[in-house]
Structure 1
Amino acid sequence: MLRTLPRSPRPHTRLFSSRRTSPYESTIANLNIGAHTRVIFQGFTGKQATANAIESLAWGTNIVGGVRPGKEGEHLGLPVLPSVRRAMAELKPDATGIYVAAHQAPAAIEEAIEAEVPLIVAVAEHIPLHDILRIHSILQTQSKSRLVGANSPGIISALGKCRIGFQPLPTFSPGHVGIIAKSGTLSYETVAALTRQGVGQSLCIGMGGDVVAGTDFVDGLRVFEHDTDTHAIILVGEVGGTAEEEAAEWIKAYRARTPNPKPIAGLVGGRTARPGTVMGHAGAWAGPGQASAAEKQRVLEEAGVVMVDHPTKFGGLMKTLLAQRGAPTSASSGGGSGTIPAQARGFHTLRRPHVRPAPVMQKRSLHLRADQAATLLAEHGIRTSALPAGTPPRSLVLTIDRTMRSPVLIASSGTGPATHTPFSYAGGPSPSEAMAAVRALDLDTATPAAADALELIVALWGLFRQYEGIELRSQVGVAAGKLLVAEPEFTFDDAAFRSSGRHAELHGQRDVTGVDPMELAGEAAGIVYVKLDGEDRNIGTVVNGAGLAMNTVDALEAQVGGLATNFLDTGGKATSETVKRSFELVLADPRVKVVFVNIFGGLTLGDMIARGVVMAMRELEVHVPVVVRIRGTREEEGQAVIRESGLKVFAYDGFEEAARKVVELANRS
């Protein structure tokens, strides 16, 4: 998976596009699932879909059949049809869950769009970014289908017993809190914390962790605003993109126009993320001018959102906020009447992070060196050179506008804020759009330099489409009336290669010079391991899920002053062997004095993780203390495996208790 991206030239400038307007916006109401929702599965007869369907049917989801291309028959007592179009005509579904591999998912999504299925839920991770951009160029032109995902746990109505995804069902309870989250594991933590406090949920939407999301925070907020079953709202965000800031703008406007607004709470993961590094999720990186997690938290607070530092705190907080509103906490509880006072601030416990020097940027994965990027540009007729001393540098970037779900040109003259010009993925930048970027470079449009800049934009767009770019950037300057192009830095989507085998020759140019060997070893095992700098760090972490891994590192520091040596995401489908390999990676760091295993099961099973911990400790002869917290799917079975192992493992149920024990053990060593 892609890990590092070049720095923004203006890291403190918060720039994002205005909310889009397109026919697709009218499909937001399709997110209102419930007992009435008729669901089909694409990939219905596959192993994962079958297991999921059995659980969902038992819970009460109205699954009416499924699709297997070219086949017809019956599965789980339900009809199987050869195409989504046939299924739409005969079964009349309101929604489809897509349970196929990443390389098959784009075609499955497009088939559902063509059949006009109202709600399409894509759970697969590692779908190539340009396939998703192409899909969104289709979605923006129609008003029938709404997409949730990809790389999402799905959408679930606890009130209506409708699950389209792989959320751990035992954690959910019917009630009146609406949730929209980037991270699956953090959403599970949030739901479990609510349920433990007797606070039920209405609708939970998985925004997903990809660069471009089919449904984002503002979409979810618009649903919750008008949903009479939702009395309070939770947002779970993370570093990367501008969705949280756009949500803050929407919330400010909502609170201004609404005499009795619903209380909103939130969390933003990634406060301690290593700068310039993709933290597990494909979208967990900050692009040009985008805010840090701490800055996102601040703007949400300023909008009136009550922030917490760990999802376990949502339970008590929402119970209090609902009580203040006079609203019921669950579907079966009664509620009084009343008005909302000013939202409580006592739940905000985050401390400011220690200020440390930024680490040296490591160029890896599909980030090409300047000389490699220059070679690609030369193939498209663009020569590069150094800018003469004293030449004012300008910046031109071709990347992804996550709000508009499209490519965008970002141009800066170096003397003011950058200008964003989104354009259609299907058609490329129009002459007027390209010229807008040229003007933003402060170039006279009648000069040869402007003509050169237009040629550069054409070349960048060609490379972006040909090799499935994520971010192509270069510095430009003007000398003797001509445009000079310098210091190109290109980053491409490695999911196109890993999932679909595309661009093997380009991927073969990957330069891993300077990359920590343990990070490369983790990658080879399907583990995202990121080493965090600082000699005072002494807590090794093993976590499943990118969002949960980020928040584990954040909350250790914020709540108990613990400093993690690493970020480690075992992956959503971790095995016992993966857990053992994770221990090997963490213990290779001599700074580690204690290992903290923090697991919340969705697809990952608690007992399987526990067996992995036991296997690792026995086979690796672990000599440092180990603290294990297992929640979620098969948590009781997992806790029993730990308890009966006979090993000296400290097992906890709650995060804060476990975190305090971790710090205590680290300080003893």
Structure 2
Amino acid sequence: MRQAVRSQFTAQRAPWALHRRPFSTSYTRSGYADTLRNLRIGSHTRVIFQGFTGKQATANARDSLAWGTKIVGGVTPGRSGEQHLGLPVLPTVRQAVEQLKPDATAIYVAAHQAAAAIEEAIEAEVPLVVAVAEHIPLHDMLRIHSILKTQSKSRLVGPNSPGIISAVGKCRIGFQPLPCFSPGRVAIIAKSGTLSYETVASTTRAGLGQSLCIGIGGDILPGTDFCEALAAVEHDPDTDAIALIGEIGGIAEMEAASWIREYRSRAVSPKPIVGLIAGIHEVPGRVMGHAGAFTALDEPDAKAKITALVNAGVTMVHHPSDIGEVLREKLQGGSSSRQGILSGLGFGSQRRQMSTVSRRHRTSAQRAVPQQKRHLYLSTAQSVGLLIETDRTIRSGSPAATANSQYLVGVGIDRSSRMPCIIAGHPLDVLSEGHLKRFPFDFQRGPVDIPAEQIASHLGLRNQQTAIDSLSRIIKSLVTIFYEKEAFLLISHLMETDKSLTVVSARFGFDDAAFRIAGRHQQLHEMRDAAAEDPSELEAEQSGIVYLKLAGDDATVGTLVNGAGLAMNTVDALARLGGRAANFLDTGGKATSETVKKSFEVILRDERVRVVFVNIFGGLTLGDMIARGIILAFEELSLTVPVVVRIRGTNEREGQQLIARSGLPLFAFDSFDEAAAKAIELSRR
């Protein structure tokens, strides 16, 4: 039977095999896991830049060189025999490897070129590849992960990552704000760049400093995950404590909790770990800034992740500014009583021992498959029509009276294996633990080994013999659409008849980055119904701002934040302190004065807003630039609501001075809690 099913998929030239050139590199039995040692960067690390002569790479390389990073040259296609910043420029990574012998490469090219640059680095066997670009098309990254699994030389950090930095070894491969860093004892592993910067500043203020900081990034498919990063610092002699910064999306934090439990059981003197999870107050069904920051089918929410980490022995805090003092007290042998520590949790029945990371936790907010606005979703009629257009033998019909008589079959992403997968179960399985099953398959080979009979058995199809053929055709069509249209999530609901399976509804989602960044599938994305979306959200989107309006008549605090993780944490913190954010707003990591002004315009169109809370921690976003944007907004928009400002990080002093000298009615604070409390107070007037 399996051979028959396999022939269903391989009888014709598979769409996933088209336009994908073969790839070869060295292979050992150790595989990709053997590259973990490459994360141990330091003063010995020889670094090259791809896109070396570009504006961003030049500025970054100049600062990194001044800090002490051993940059030995770079790559710019078509350039040879030249020098840049006094260092050699070569036309290919292969030539750079041969002549410069790098240990790592920093990729500073545009998102639509980044996947090819990553592949070139892997093919040249550069030990550590750091990709900082955001919005690399999802299918490009699926291809990269398929390549990574075939080799044992190169380790990827990113994408959508601030990079990796050794404060002890003065080696920066990324764009982290250097003034915050000091050599020390704490390893920081984070999805969010801005939250990691806050953590760096906190550990510096506490006198602890940092050892190795790994920004795994907010992408759907990171090259290095929490467990791999934890394994890299477990035996690091410079690391005495660990800070772990997670957020909604995927199960990486649950897997980290399992790893930490095992680590604490085997280690004679385990290193203390303090953690934070952003996104407790996520908007169900929405992408919260980062490409991977959303809770999908059968994934745990933020509260479940916090519970799992607490049960694993991690001390959880509300805000990254608390992490330094909490770790300092733990390293001194005490137990902290600081108010920033999550105690009791208040999550009711969710607080229980996690026996395995495969168990999934559901909340009332996740009782449906909501629409992701950062991706294009077709209507039910359009989705069913596209499925039937792919295979005219597929039958459609009216849905049954209840979801209990339906089956859910789809194609999506398995974040744990970093592979595409077949999804199978019942519509109500998204409410259960472990009932919605995923069957991962290699991106480049396609689902040639997907066991249709096993899926049919899991679904409990009554007439398996006749249903398997129908199920195979539906899966094949879903896979075809997945590859040809660069889908993100394809879900179909089926009913079983005497002769076959009938499609009664479908919901198809496609990667927006494939169109926005790479210009692919324009015709598909022209089907987007902008009239059904919030005008303010659309306007913000045109300026590169992620803005989501939050529900509630008592939501009166407008928020303006740079960085998705920090924006989520700001919404969470306001709720903890008794306030309600009216919006989630991420200006992005490269905010300008004009971006800040536009953010004010969007926020103030919401009549509920009584105060604007600006919470900025500078990385690429400079504090003085944000201050100028706030002043510009006051001058040009005639603001009538009070504004509370907290600026920390890069150029924080310059920004604070601009605010102080402006003569405008602004409330400026260094402390996050003080600033948030003032914003809440003003929102109640």
**TM-score, normalization: structure 1?**
0.91
The answer for the alignment partner of 2:514 in structure 1 is 496
The answer for the alignment partner of 2:623 in structure 1 is 606
The answer for the alignment partner of 2:441 in structure 1 is 423
Instruction: Give yes or no for the alignment of 1:384 onto 2:377.
Output: no
Tell me which amino acid in the other structure corresponds to 1:93.
P
User: Mapping of 1:240-639 within 5 angstroms?
Assistant: 240-324=249-333, 347-349=340-342, 361=370, 364=373, 365-381=375-391, 382-389=394-401, 392-413=405-426, 417-443=435-461, 446-558=464-576, 560-639=577-656
The answer for the alignment partner of 1:181 in structure 2 is 190
Equivalents in 1 of 2:438, 2:318: separation in Å? 32
Equivalents in 2 of 1:353, 1:582: separation in Å? 34
Contact 1:628 1:650 in 2 (8 A): yes
The answer for the alignment partner of 1:148 in structure 2 is 157
Contact 1:22 1:141 in 2 (8 A): no
Instruction: Give yes or no for the alignment of 1:28 onto 2:36.
Output: yes
* Structure 2: stretches of 5+ with no match in the other structure: 1-28, 349-362
Report which stretch shifted further, 536-545 or 510-519: 510-519
The answer for the alignment partner of 1:136 in structure 2 is 145
Equivalents in 1 of 2:463, 2:126: separation in Å? 46
Contact 1:97 1:122 in 2 (8 A): yes
Q: Tell me the CA shift for residue 435 of structure 1.
A: 3.7
Q: CA RMSD in A?
A: 2.0
Instruction: Give yes or no for the alignment of 1:233 onto 2:254.
Output: no
Q: From 112, 116, 136, give the equivalent of 2:125.
A: 116
Contact 2:617 2:650 in 1 (8 A): yes
Query: Cα–Cα, structure 1 residues 500 and 119, in superposed 2: closer, same or farther, change >3 Å?
Result: same
Q: Tell me the CA shift for residue 443 of structure 1.
A: 2.6
The SS at the match of 2:156 is strand
Tell me which amino acid in the other structure corresponds to 1:79.
P
Query: Cα–Cα, structure 1 residues 343 and 663, in superposed 2: closer, same or farther, change >3 Å?
Result: closer
Equivalents in 2 of 1:652, 1:359: separation in Å? 40
Equivalents in 2 of 1:377, 1:76: separation in Å? 54
Equivalents in 2 of 1:590, 1:630: separation in Å? 26
Query: Cα–Cα, structure 1 residues 113 and 173, in superposed 2: closer, same or farther, change >3 Å?
Result: same
Tell me which amino acid in the other structure corresponds to 1:90.
Q
The answer for the alignment partner of 1:51 in structure 2 is 59
Instruction: Give yes or no for the alignment of 1:78 onto 2:78.
Output: no
Q: Tell me the CA shift for residue 516 of structure 1.
A: 1.6
Tell me which amino acid in the other structure corresponds to 2:614.
V
Equivalents in 2 of 1:384, 1:645: separation in Å? 65
Contact 1:309 1:555 in 2 (8 A): yes
Q: Tell me the CA shift for residue 664 of structure 1.
A: 1.4
The count of aligned residue pairs is 631
Query: Cα–Cα, structure 1 residues 591 and 436, in superposed 2: closer, same or farther, change >3 Å?
Result: same
Contact 2:560 2:615 in 1 (8 A): yes
Contact 2:285 2:372 in 1 (8 A): no
Query: Cα–Cα, structure 1 residues 356 and 514, in superposed 2: closer, same or farther, change >3 Å?
Result: farther
Tell me which amino acid in the other structure corresponds to 1:600.
F
Query: Cα–Cα, structure 1 residues 507 and 252, in superposed 2: closer, same or farther, change >3 Å?
Result: same
Q: Tell me the CA shift for residue 432 of structure 1.
A: 4.1
Q: Deviations over 1:209-264 (max 9, x none)?
A: 11000001000110111111111111100000000000001111111111211111
The SS at the match of 1:104 is helix
Equivalents in 2 of 1:574, 1:359: separation in Å? 36
Query: Cα–Cα, structure 1 residues 616 and 179, in superposed 2: closer, same or farther, change >3 Å?
Result: same
Equivalents in 1 of 2:299, 2:580: separation in Å? 26
Contact 1:387 1:484 in 2 (8 A): no
Equivalents in 2 of 1:291, 1:607: separation in Å? 39
Tell me which amino acid in the other structure corresponds to 1:657.
E
Q: Tell me the CA shift for residue 295 of structure 1.
A: 1.0
Equivalents in 1 of 2:412, 2:324: separation in Å? 39
Query: Cα–Cα, structure 1 residues 254 and 309, in superposed 2: closer, same or farther, change >3 Å?
Result: same
The SS at the match of 1:614 is helix
Q: Deviations over 1:75-122 (max 9, x none)?
A: 000011111001001100000000000011111111100100000000
Q: Tell me the CA shift for residue 474 of structure 1.
A: 1.1
Q: Tell me the CA shift for residue 396 of structure 1.
A: 1.3
The answer for the alignment partner of 1:642 in structure 2 is 659
**TM-score, normalization: structure 2?**
0.89
Equivalents in 2 of 1:664, 1:22: separation in Å? 57
Query: Cα–Cα, structure 1 residues 419 and 603, in superposed 2: closer, same or farther, change >3 Å?
Result: same
Report which stretch shifted further, 175-184 or 256-265: 256-265
Contact 1:306 1:345 in 2 (8 A): no
Equivalents in 1 of 2:633, 2:65: separation in Å? 36
Equivalents in 2 of 1:664, 1:208: separation in Å? 34
Tell me which amino acid in the other structure corresponds to 2:377.
H
Tell me which amino acid in the other structure corresponds to 1:220.
A
Q: Tell me the CA shift for residue 445 of structure 1.
A: 7.6
Query: Cα–Cα, structure 1 residues 612 and 405, in superposed 2: closer, same or farther, change >3 Å?
Result: same
Q: Tell me the CA shift for residue 446 of structure 1.
A: 4.6
The SS at the match of 2:112 is coil
Contact 1:528 1:570 in 2 (8 A): yes
Equivalents in 1 of 2:617, 2:669: separation in Å? 12
Report which stretch shifted further, 643-652 or 384-393: 384-393
Equivalents in 1 of 2:296, 2:517: separation in Å? 24
Q: Deviations over 1:430-450 (max 9, x none)?
A: 244444333322236852222
Q: Tell me the CA shift for residue 177 of structure 1.
A: 0.7
Q: Tell me the CA shift for residue 344 of structure 1.
A: 7.5
Equivalents in 2 of 1:96, 1:531: separation in Å? 39
Equivalents in 2 of 1:347, 1:612: separation in Å? 31
Q: Tell me the CA shift for residue 511 of structure 1.
A: 2.0
The percentage of aligned residue pairs carrying the same residue is 57
The answer for the alignment partner of 2:15 in structure 1 is none
Equivalents in 1 of 2:182, 2:146: separation in Å? 37
Query: Cα–Cα, structure 1 residues 293 and 348, in superposed 2: closer, same or farther, change >3 Å?
Result: same
The SS at the match of 2:654 is helix
Contact 2:39 2:232 in 1 (8 A): yes
Query: Cα–Cα, structure 1 residues 499 and 231, in superposed 2: closer, same or farther, change >3 Å?
Result: same
Equivalents in 2 of 1:531, 1:287: separation in Å? 20
Tell me which amino acid in the other structure corresponds to 1:378.
I
Equivalents in 1 of 2:442, 2:337: separation in Å? 43
Instruction: Give yes or no for the alignment of 1:659 onto 2:676.
Output: yes
Q: Tell me the CA shift for residue 393 of structure 1.
A: 1.3
Contact 1:172 1:191 in 2 (8 A): yes
